[in-house]
Structure 1
Amino acid sequence: MQKDQSKHFVQQGRAKEATKTNYFEDRGSGAVEVKGSQKKGRLDAQAILLLIVHTLFGSANALSGTFVGVYLWKAKNDYALIGWFTLTTHLTMALTFWLAGKWVKEHNKMNCLRLGVAVSAGFYMLVLWLGANSFHYFVWLGMVQGISAGLFWVAFNVVYFEVTDPDNRDRFNGWIGLLGSGAGIVAPWISGLLIVSLGDGAGYRLIFSISLGIFLLGVVISFFLKKRKVQGAYEWLFPLRCLRQAETPWKRVCLALVFQGVREGVFGFMIALLVYISTSSEASLGSFVLITSAVSLVSFWAAGRFIKPHFRKISMLIGAAMIVTVIIPFFWKMGYSTLLIFGIGASLFFPMYSVPMVSAVFDLIGSNEASAKQREEYIVLRELSLNVGRVCGVLLFICVISWSKAPLVINVLLLIIGSSPLVSWYFMKKQLTVIRT
């Protein structure tokens, strides 16, 4: 690995290097080169198929995943239990990423992706089978969910890297958010109505069964994705070797990813749970997700269309600052209205934070051919960093919630954890100014 991969990029205002140093310039296929009617920056058929698989995976999780925390909460009103379930998920996910890295590096990464979707289906089969006793097995359920997420995302991110390039990566990320928000508009709202109209038992069984079917459809669609070439041997200790190098942007980037994960680890389950606790209604939670997802749909579309590499730094700062600001109404009153203000605000500005972050990290992975050849190891490093942050965030949540459940304490905790994107931007800002021209 090069000592500082940012040296292989062109800084704003500087002349382009005479020699080609970017992996994508020599890549055999993709949207980087104009081929026939294929325009620069457009998504090809494989990228579109990958979007479809991702959308099915996201739709199934949106249909039922929003309500898993609520399902456990209704079985046993315990914040800490849900925290431990989430912690187990993230720890297992991190270990799965590290172990599955060898599979996607040396063997068939598409089978890894398919197995991830299939194990997700298995998770909901287990929940259906265990029923009201699920909370007794939260550790095992968390492990199954972590394995499914680890297998799917390590394969997805490698394939995502291979079917995109710096010219279309922001566009792809925008479509990911757009389609995910579209699924979020319909799926949780329908789930909430079904649970309320059919009752807890039949309602949850139905939505978990529908999710199972969607996951299986995702497996079928994934067979239309081409088998990707493999090369090289997997380096188990690559994350340590990379971070021990004196001059590498990955030290800053990994710290940024850790702080990104801190917020994700807690807000991923806590907001939905707070909405349910405030309303005691799955239908209200479904409506909340419908409204916030509709805002996200527009916001991700705009982010994918208008955020260009030279706007990434200011975009990420504005997004990070605003998703922290919208937490402040919690100190006035924790209720459905303030949660909705938060949800709309976060949905509006989160794409400004996340799209530049994701694109810049993957651009760094593809900054030169040597780096791109170790894309699997870099993606594992990225995900390990995110999961370190998620684990730290959830551990902080468990410690504080075990000490006090007072509303003020919870609000301060959410503000502290929710402010981590600003720290993430601080460590990421230098990399956001490194662009390819």
Structure 2
Amino acid sequence: MQTNQTNQTSVKSKGKLDAQAILLLVVHALFGGANALSGTFVGVYLWKAKNDFTLIGWFTLTTHLTMAITFWLAGKWVKEHNKMNCLRIGVSISACFYMLVLWMGTSSVHYFVWLGMVQGISVGLFWIAFNVVYFEVTDPDNRDRFNGWVGLLGACAGIIAPWISGLLIVTLGDGAGYRLIFSISLGIFLLGVVVSFFLKKRKLSGTYEWLLPLRILRQPQTPWKRVSLALLFQGVREGVFGFMIGLLVYISTSSEASLGNFALITSSVALVSFWAAGRFIRPSFRKKSMFIGSVMVVLVILPFFWKMSFSTLLIFGIGSALFFPMYSIPMVSVVFDLIGSDDESAKQREEYIVLRELSLNVGRVCGVLLFICVISWSKEPLIINVLLLVIGSSTFFSWVFIRNQLPAAKS
């Protein structure tokens, strides 16, 4: 039976989001908007400096490794100190990342390891704090709704920001265009820091247990073994598709404007699908929803075997935008419901969130390592397509491992 979660300031109406949850959505939207404006083009920026898939793979790998370490170390901060400062510093370091890229210019390609570390630290600090506060301001009744709004706002940012960025880069040229969009992102991140001060300081309780994730996974009957494997497979896809699809769009069209149009179209579809999924998916439907979503996002990869072009990439993008919310919203909700399933785990929410993020990042690292190994061996189109299909199929294995946990989420 679900228990009342710790540190909630009031009893929320069933299914409704309170003011703090809405404010957290605003902070998330600003963070996501700034990343959508420039993050979509970071891989392209590095690619134009040096046409090397492997280099971009190592940049991404460094980011995920640093992110995993940051999650584990920052867990103590968010549990025993001010988690809101952790969130603010994460946003601030994201701004610093774009300042560094602006300062280094095209020579950024020579410092990709250090830039990956800065990005990993910024993302790690933001998400460990965000996820803890997210757990505290939501409950099983409104968690799917909150996740739907997260996706909805992310889709809105994806519609507008990359399209504007692509237009500016094409209009102003590489140098001025990239400087402008990175500068605007910097400003939005700083605005996110300001807005975050309106979030209430959260109460603190307990002492951080550094090795709790390991202790949990060593328990023989814990559902976290299956859940962690599901998260690992989810991370495999995220680690590679997060940078590879946008890069393939640019390579196919040689135009940042086309990448912006791609993001506009696919995010418009995601806007509708996240709204529908957040509104209509209920705990009792999570199992079927995740199955449909996990299978369909694999099937939409198959057109690549016919031809890798803007058209087939668009088919993939629209299909993923349409069906991925059916997979991702239940996935997020069931994990956080498990964290809040009893008083003991709710009190150790920081450690469980670290376990969640470590599982995701292990998957991301594995996915990127596989990508680097294969790309170093061959860059033939057929090999790349098979690689994308193998990596993309990880969503189905994610559903296989978590499916028995899904009925337990019914409230």
What is the TM-score normalised by the length of structure 2? Answer: 0.99
Counterpart of 1:45 in structure 2 is 19
Question: Which residues of structure 2 form unaligned runs of 5+?
Answer: none
Q: Which of residues 257, 262, 277 is equivalent to 1:303?
A: 277
CA distance in 2, matches of 1:375, 1:55: 24
1:391 and 2:365 are equivalent in the alignment: yes
CA distance in 1, matches of 2:163, 2:18: 32
SS at match of 2:405: helix
1:87 and 2:75 are equivalent in the alignment: no
Counterpart of 2:3 in structure 1 is 23
- Whichever residue aligns with residue 242 of structure 2, its letter is G
CA distance in 1, matches of 2:359, 2:213: 10
State how 1:291-370 maps to structure 2 within 5 Å.
291-370=265-344
CA distance in 2, matches of 1:279, 1:188: 15
CA distance in 1, matches of 2:211, 2:5: 29
- Whichever residue aligns with residue 426 of structure 1, its letter is V
Q: Which of residues 387, 398, 401 is equivalent to 2:375?
A: 401
Judging changes above 3 Å, is the alpha-carbon distance between structure 1 residues 27 and 115 closer, same or farther for their aligned structure 2 residues?
Answer: closer
Q: CA deviation at 1:247?
A: 1.1
CA distance in 2, matches of 1:170, 1:228: 22
CA offsets 1:260-300 (integer angstroms, 9 cap, x no match):
00000000000000000000000000000000000000000
SS at match of 1:23: coil
CA distance in 1, matches of 2:218, 2:320: 36
- Whichever residue aligns with residue 303 of structure 1, its letter is A
State how 1:70-149 maps to structure 2 within 5 Å.
70-149=44-123
CA distance in 1, matches of 2:251, 2:97: 25
Question: Which residues of structure 1 form unaligned runs of 5+?
Answer: 1-8, 10-21
SS at match of 1:57: helix
Identity within the alignment, % = 80
1:380 and 2:354 are equivalent in the alignment: yes
Q: CA deviation at 1:29?
A: 3.5
Counterpart of 1:240 in structure 2 is 214
Alpha carbons 2:147, 2:278 under 8 Å: kept:
yes
SS at match of 1:386: helix
- Whichever residue aligns with residue 195 of structure 1, its letter is I
Q: Which moved more, 1:155-164 or 1:426-435?
A: 426-435
CA offsets 1:316-369 (integer angstroms, 9 cap, x no match):
000000000000000000000000000000000000000000000000000011
CA distance in 1, matches of 2:243, 2:3: 38
Cα RMSD after superposing both structures: 0.9
CA distance in 1, matches of 2:99, 2:245: 25
- Whichever residue aligns with residue 81 of structure 1, its letter is L
CA distance in 2, matches of 1:348, 1:318: 11
- Whichever residue aligns with residue 404 of structure 2, its letter is K
Counterpart of 1:418 in structure 2 is 392
1:217 and 2:186 are equivalent in the alignment: no
- Whichever residue aligns with residue 272 of structure 2, its letter is V
Q: Which of residues 290, 295, 313 is equivalent to 2:264?
A: 290
CA distance in 1, matches of 2:405, 2:336: 11
Counterpart of 1:18 in structure 2 is none
May I ask how many residue pairs the two structures share in their alignment?
Answer: 411
CA distance in 2, matches of 1:273, 1:100: 31
CA offsets 1:136-159 (integer angstroms, 9 cap, x no match):
000000000000000000000000
What is the TM-score normalised by the length of structure 1? Answer: 0.93
Q: CA deviation at 1:28?
A: 5.1
CA distance in 1, matches of 2:344, 2:294: 32
